[in-house]
Amino acid sequence: MDRAQRRSRDVNATMTATSPTAIDVSWERFEALYRSSRDDVYAYVATLLREPAAAEDVTALAFERAYRRRRSFDRARGNERAWLFGIARNAALDELRRRRRLARLAVDPEDLAAADVLASTDDVADEALRRTALRDALDRLAPRERELVALKFHAGLSNAEIARVLGVSESNAGTLLHRTIAKLRKACDA
Amino acid sequence: MHDDELSTLLTAERPRPREAFVAELDARVAARFPPRPRPARAGSATRARGWAALLQRPFLPAAATVLAVGLAAIVVTLSAGDRAPRVGGVSAPSAVDGATTGGAIAVPERRATDQAAPDAQREALAPGARDLAPAPELDALKRSAPLAGRFDSARKVERSASVELGTDPERVDDVAQDVLGVVARFDAIVDQSSVQSSTDGGEARFELRVPADRLQPALAALSRLPDAHVLSRTDDTRDVNQAYVSIRRTLANARAERTGVLRALANADTEDETLRLRARLDEIERTIANAERGQRTLDRRVDYSRVSVGIHGGASGGVVPAGDDSFGIGDAAHDALRVLEVAAGVVVIVAAALVPLALLSALSWPLVRGVRRRRREQALDAV
């Protein structure tokens, strides 16, 4: 939560710092949006697609589309992060539609290496077990629930932004998120 | 597991991009996404990007296709609509085979057509057709095979025309002399003439016979007499081919029968038979004479066109304004107005075609977006 709020504040600060008399205000806005959202968009798309290579392609495509359409962004229809994640979501769903298959979640070799090292102590072993349980629980979630988790914890969006991306009301987004977290916790504790 | 702990674990599970990818993307962003050759690995999202742009908007090519087809249909319809009355006015059976063609024609249009130089092909056409349609269009009609037969010069066509001229009262005699000059120039014949002139007005009338192949130049000359202006002009065309064929057939039959009767007469044995055959022979001779007379009359009507010329002086004839033949500001304004009218008509027609298409596009666009969105959501459900 803190992370998301911190990022949002940074974005606003960058936006307000942009001079309206700049030669290409829309480019500066986009660049700031890119700097603040690059890793978040990748994390969200990677969780949705579960294939790093495809996630990289879709992330690049999403930013390119956002760049091409940056002048058409309507601030009255939501903030820029929600707009960007909407583009990323469409690109990812188009990719899913095209592939029609689920790639297994690729395991980061660095994580494995880190787990091997950390498994040498009992505390770290417990942590590794909890992470494994969490991954299993994530795998058992429905794709829409997993998307909610990705938007909230991997991309760091607020409930309002999630609602905007998914096209639902903010209260509905909060309810869905609450149910998903409860389901995830129950699966982890089981 | 507590919420904070779960949140921490979930955040820790956040996928992180490769540094190489981040560096590459940073470079592309810094360069503002320059076009790049698509790497083989990027096939999933970038290989079909060009086609995806179209496939994600299937409505655009569909709308473009509908628009193109609609415009083509409109063009074809308008072209057919433009041709239909022109063909009918020139060569439809009711015009050629029927009683008359033509009618009173506005003076400016008449002047324009008269000034056009006749050529060999146009001379072969019916006079009414030549006068009612501009030369290029008639040329196009001549090239049309089914229509060409209708303009076959071998058909017997009787033509007549009427020209009413207006002039100043004191110039009726001069104009009458000019008419006679035209008659002499085109080897025409004056069937009947009458000239009445007075100080407060006058009138003259000529019934002429003009060689059919010189009718149009003669009419053009009559329309351009220096001291007169055309009040009205009428061209009539009557197809007499059927009557001509009928007379020829009657003549041939009668001559054949005459040959047979003469042969029978030579072989006649009795006086009664001889008398009967002679009576029949006289009857056939009268039939042949009548038919030949009818054919000659018809030939005269075909070879010489009747032209009625009226000259009206005074109030009824009006005064020819000086320089009437010249192209002035008024004519230019009139032509410009006409061009604007045609342009406005074209705009209205195009709008009539495009507005429904635009409405259809506007109405169906939300539907298309909804379908596309649903398909995307289905892709997520299918994971």
Nearest CA in chain A to B2: A185
Query: Is pLDDT of A135 > 60?
Result: yes
HEC sequence for B307-370: EEEEEEEHHHCCCCCCCCCCCCHHHHHHHHHHHHHHHHHHHHHHHHHHHHHHHHHHHHHHHHHH
CB contact under 8 A, B380 and A94: no
Residue A162 tokens read as: 């999630």
On whether residue A119 sits in a domain, the answer given is: no
Which positions in chain B have a beta carbon within 8 angstroms of at least one beta carbon in chain A?
1, 3, 5-7, 9-18, 21-22, 25, 28-29, 32-33, 41-42, 44-46, 48-49, 52, 56, 375-383
Nearest to B284 by CA among B258, B248, B250: B258
Interface of A with B in 64-123 (CB under 8 A): 64, 67-68, 90-91, 93-100, 102, 108
d(CA B84, CA B74): 15
On whether residue A185 sits in a domain, the answer given is: yes
SS3 A120: coil
Q: What is the pLDDT at residue B125?
A: 41
On whether residue A161 sits in a domain, the answer given is: yes
Q: What is the pLDDT at residue B37?
A: 64
Q: How many residues does chain A have?
A: 190
Q: What is the pLDDT at residue B140?
A: 42
On whether residue A118 sits in a domain, the answer given is: no
* Chain A residues in contact with B1 (beta carbon < 8 A): 130, 185, 188-189
Q: What is the pLDDT at residue B60?
A: 65
Closest CA of chain A from B370, distance in Å? 12
Total domains in chain A come to: 1
Cβ atoms of residues B193 and B173 within 8 Å: no
Q: For residue A57, give the nearest of B1, B18, B44 by CB distance.
A: B44
Query: Is pLDDT of A30 > 70?
Result: yes
Would you kindly state where each structural domain of chain B is located, as residue ranges? Answer: 244-297
* Chain B residues in contact with A97 (beta carbon < 8 A): 375-376, 378-379
Interface of A with B in 39-58 (CB under 8 A): 39, 42-43, 46-48, 52-58
Residues 6 or more apart whose Cβ sits within 8 Å of residue B323: none
β strands within B168-322, DSSP E: 189-198, 201-211, 229-239, 304-313
Packed helices B241-266 and B271-303: angle between N→C axes, nearest 10 degrees: 160
Q: What is the pLDDT at residue A13?
A: 40
Decide if A188 touches B, using CB distance below 8 A: yes
CB contact under 8 A, A134 and B7: no
Decide if A168 touches B, using CB distance below 8 A: no
Of the two residues A119 and B251, the one the predictor is more confident about is B251
Is the pTM higher than 0.80? The answer reads: no
CB contact under 8 A, A153 and B10: yes
* Chain A residues in contact with B50 (beta carbon < 8 A): none
Q: How many residues does chain B have?
A: 383
Average pLDDT on A18-23 reads 46
Closest CA of chain B from A189, distance in Å? 7
Cβ atoms of residues B174 and B227 within 8 Å: yes
CB contact under 8 A, B1 and A188: yes
Closest CA of chain A from B36, distance in Å? 12
On whether residue A154 sits in a domain, the answer given is: yes
On whether residue A114 sits in a domain, the answer given is: no
Range of the domain at A28: 2-106+141-189
Decide if A11 touches B, using CB distance below 8 A: no
Q: What is the pLDDT at residue B80?
A: 54
d(CA A29, CA A17): 10
On whether residue A67 sits in a domain, the answer given is: yes
Q: Tens digit of pLDDT for each residue in A33-56?
A: 999 999 999 999 999 888 899 999
Residues 6 or more apart whose Cβ sits within 8 Å of residue B14: A43, A153, A154
Measure the CA dihedral A55/B53/B363/B369, to 10°: -10
Closest CA of chain A from B46, distance in Å? 7
pLDDT per position in chain B (383 positions), as tens?
677 788 888 888 889 999 999 999 999 999 988 886 655 554 455 455 555 555 555 566 677 777 777 777 766 666 554 444 333 333 333 333 333 334 333 333 334 334 433 443 444 344 444 444 444 443 443 444 344 344 445 788 889 999 999 888 888 888 899 999 999 999 999 999 988 877 777 889 999 999 999 899 999 999 888 888 898 889 888 888 888 899 999 999 999 999 999 999 899 889 999 999 999 999 999 999 999 999 999 888 899 999 999 998 875 555 444 445 677 888 899 999 999 999 999 999 999 989 999 999 999 999 998 888 888 888 887 76
d(CA A67, CA A73): 10
On whether residue A176 sits in a domain, the answer given is: yes
Which of A97-111, A150-164, B150-164, B319-333 shows the highest mean pLDDT?
A150-164
CATH number of the domain bearing residue A97: 1.10.1740.10
pLDDT grade for A114, boundaries at 50, 70 and 90: very low
Nearest CA in chain B to A35: B26
Q: What is the pLDDT at residue B106?
A: 38
Decide if A153 touches B, using CB distance below 8 A: yes
